[in-house]
Amino acid sequence: MMNQITRDQVPIEETWDLTPIFKDDAMWERSYDELEKEVDVLLQKNVVLSSASDVLEALETFDQLLVNLGKVNSYAMYKYTEDSTNSQNQMMMGRAQLLHEKANQVKTNYVNAFIQVPQEKMEQFKNEEKELHTFDRFLERIEKTRQHSLPSDMEDVLTSLGHTLQTPSNLYQTVTASDMTFDPVRNKDGKEVPISLFMYMTQVETSPDTVLRRNAYESLSKGLEKYQHSLASTLSAEIQKNVSLAKLRGFSSAIDMHLQYASPANASFDSDNISSKFFEEILDTFKKELSPHMQRYARLRKRQLGLDHLSFADVKAPLDPDFDPEISYEEAGEIITEAVGVLGTEYKELMSRVFSERWVYRADNVGRRMIAFGGGVHGVHGYSFYPWGGNLFDVLLLGHELGHAIHFTLAHKNQRLINNSMALFFVESPSTLIEHLIVDYLRKTRDDTRLHRWLNMYLMMSYHHNCVTHVLEAELLRRLYKMAEEKQPLTTATISETKGEILSEFWGDTVEIDEGAKLTWMRQPHYYMGLYPYTYSVGISASTVIAERIKKEGVAVGEQWTDVLKQGGTKDGLDLFKMAGLDMSSTKVISEAIANVGRIVDELEESF
């Protein structure tokens, strides 16, 4: 771990190639100007849908608008991701957001017009113009949201307030990316190590150096503490906003709204009509069935590491502290590309392009984004952001983000963008599956008992992150939303104490829950993304079972999975899983995945 460099010091091979989106900033400027003129024209245009040809023209215009907006916004966002301290990047991002807000009014105008067409009339138009069936998924979403849509003038008002309604999320991102700093700490050798949120969560938290982990945890806790009241107010505002919007749209609760509603005008992700009852069953299943296995693993960690107590700083510490294989980015690319071969030739070729065409930004420079991600640009290909640390742990986390990037690439290649709002219930399964495939590949190709044990420990870390961390985030959201709807103030103390209670219930007496642990709600942006956290646990449960089937039945299962990814957002999450041969309408698959966690703990206890 080294001191961060500035963006202009980053070698080109550690950056992504954005030229497939726009050749340079000047071309972005020209495209921006052209798009802004187009948006201004569309704002003045009445959307008339009196015939089948009118509807087809409107849908094609809407779809192309989304494509053009996606390119302009993605380029600006990716530049801002590289370095949020750069004034030019700030300006581009700000202008892109302003144009996006203006375009939101156009999108709202179109959606309002579609909603005014009765379903019977739309079916008549489809019979007259077969090409309209190309847009069936979007029109289905119009019908799904119709009953919760407001009068056109009210929808217009909400659209005009779009930037204001995003203020809590924007504030969180700004504070954590640009304002929040942490004191450097010393490792076991007395060397100074810089601390950031991202590096703590991807490198330090799982470091074999207990001195470094605990010092960094203390630094992180002190840094977070300075902002706790500001970010508590920000989170409270986000929750209260959604409670009010849920009432306005006629939902019985904000949780129901998050699970069942996504406006066709603005959503990148689609809801899946999951009931709040099923959502709560999912959380309860994880808390009840996963907790005993994780407590058993915590006791093994404390015993194996010879710790007097297991603090929250130690909860992800490796059981074999001296085993921390370093690996080059080039070798990581070879491993990941070979590992995904079981998903078929097409998938493997796309993954190969990731590394030959620079789809990844991997530098750890000043001003870069805190949280890794994977996504894509329609008409181009996927992109991922992942600051590379240089060890085997990074190989698997990079693989996770590339799972998103390839998913988006396949979906964009095969579907119209207007139909392609990704199903939230499904979206974390393509990423977590890649982690499983990398583990399976390394087990097959590396005859090293110690490595195999490390891979089991990695899987436990992955379940910890995707199931434990995110399920407990979702549990906090469940409780805070219910408090807000019961008119209870969401103060700093309320949020932190509730988080502490949740952690204590899950870990029992195996992990010490101190004041720093209670502040961990400040680490993640997921609280500003609806109920997104719970989708990780669903995703990794599904991918666990799919990975086992691939091991037993071979590439045919993998190719079937790739075909599912090509469907993009044209099906609900439950239907996508069904197409892959999984019934996710109950918690049966989740329980099957949790049982697998228990078997891994059994193996680790035996191996030590």
Dist. CA 281–CA 477, nearest whole Å: 15
- What's the pLDDT at 2? 46
- What's the pLDDT at 84? 92
Q: What is the pLDDT of residues 286-327, one digit of tens each?
A: 999 999 999 999 999 999 999 989 999 999 998 888 888 899
Q: What is the pLDDT of residues 427-446, one digit of tens each?
A: 999 999 999 999 999 999 99
What average pLDDT does the segment 209-237 reach?
95
pLDDT tier, 207 (very low <50, low <70, confident <90, very high otherwise) = confident
pLDDT tier, 369 (very low <50, low <70, confident <90, very high otherwise) = confident
- Does the pTM surpass 0.75? The reply is yes
Instruction: Give me the percent of the chain exceeding a pLDDT of 70.
Output: 99
Dihedral Cα 62, 66, 72, 77, nearest 10 deg: 150
Output DSSP code: residue 522: G
What average pLDDT does the segment 568-595 reach?
96
Judged against a pLDDT cut of 50, whether residue 176 lies above it is answered with yes
Q: What is the pLDDT of residues 512-555, one digit of tens each?
A: 999 999 999 999 888 999 999 999 999 999 999 999 999 999 99
- What's the pLDDT at 263? 83
Lowest mean pLDDT of 267-276, 443-452, 456-465, 489-498, name the range: 267-276
Dist. CA 157–CA 162, nearest whole Å: 9
Phi (first) and psi of residue 212, to 5 degrees: -60, -45
Cα separations (Å) of 363 from 12, 369, 384?
Answer: 10, 11, 12
Dist. CA 33–CA 490, nearest whole Å: 43
pLDDT tier, 202 (very low <50, low <70, confident <90, very high otherwise) = confident
Mapping DSSP onto H, E and C, the string for 261-322 reads CCCCCCCCEECCCCCHHHHHHHHHHHHHHHHHHHHHHHHHHHHHHCCCCCEHHHCCCCCCCC
What 167-171 contacts at long range (C-beta under 8 Å, 24+ apart), as own/partner pairs, is 167/237, 168/234, 168/235, 168/237, 168/238, 168/241, 168/528, 169/238, 169/525, 169/528, 169/529, 171/234
Judged against a pLDDT cut of 50, whether residue 15 lies above it is answered with yes
**For residue 168, which of 245, 111, 226 has the smallest C-alpha distance?**
245
What average pLDDT does the segment 98-108 reach?
93
- Residue 425 CB partners (closer than 8 Å, separation 6+): 272, 274, 535, 538, 572, 573, 574, 577, 584
Judged against a pLDDT cut of 60, whether residue 1 lies above it is answered with no
- What's the pLDDT at 269? 80
367: left (phi over 0), alpha (psi -120 to 50) or beta: left
DSSP 498-511: HHHHHHHHHHTTSS
End-to-end CA distance of the chain: give it in Å, rounded: 29
- What's the pLDDT at 198? 77
DSSP 239-252: HHHHHHHHHHTT-S
* Helix ranges restricted to H, 421-554: 429-445, 449-463, 470-485, 492-507, 515-518, 533-553
pLDDT tier, 3 (very low <50, low <70, confident <90, very high otherwise) = low
- Residue 174 CB partners (closer than 8 Å, separation 6+): none
Q: What is the pLDDT of residues 480-503, one digit of tens each?
A: 999 999 999 999 999 999 999 999
Q: What is the pLDDT of residues 22-64, one digit of tens each?
A: 999 999 999 999 999 999 999 999 999 999 999 999 999 999 9
pLDDT tier, 509 (very low <50, low <70, confident <90, very high otherwise) = very high
- What's the pLDDT at 203? 81
Contact 388, 544 (CB under 8 A): no
What average pLDDT does the segment 153-163 reach?
88
Dist. CA 434–CA 563, nearest whole Å: 16
Cα separations (Å) of 567 from 41, 340, 372, 571?
Answer: 33, 19, 25, 7
In the chain, the domains with their CATH numbers are 7-165 (1.20.140.70), 167-256+275-608 (1.10.1370.30)
Dist. CA 451–CA 536, nearest whole Å: 26
Judged against a pLDDT cut of 90, whether residue 411 lies above it is answered with yes
Dist. CA 228–CA 490, nearest whole Å: 13
What average pLDDT does the segment 584-595 reach?
96
Judged against a pLDDT cut of 90, whether residue 173 lies above it is answered with no
- What's the pLDDT at 568? 96
Tell me the pLDDT of the chain averaged across its residues. 94
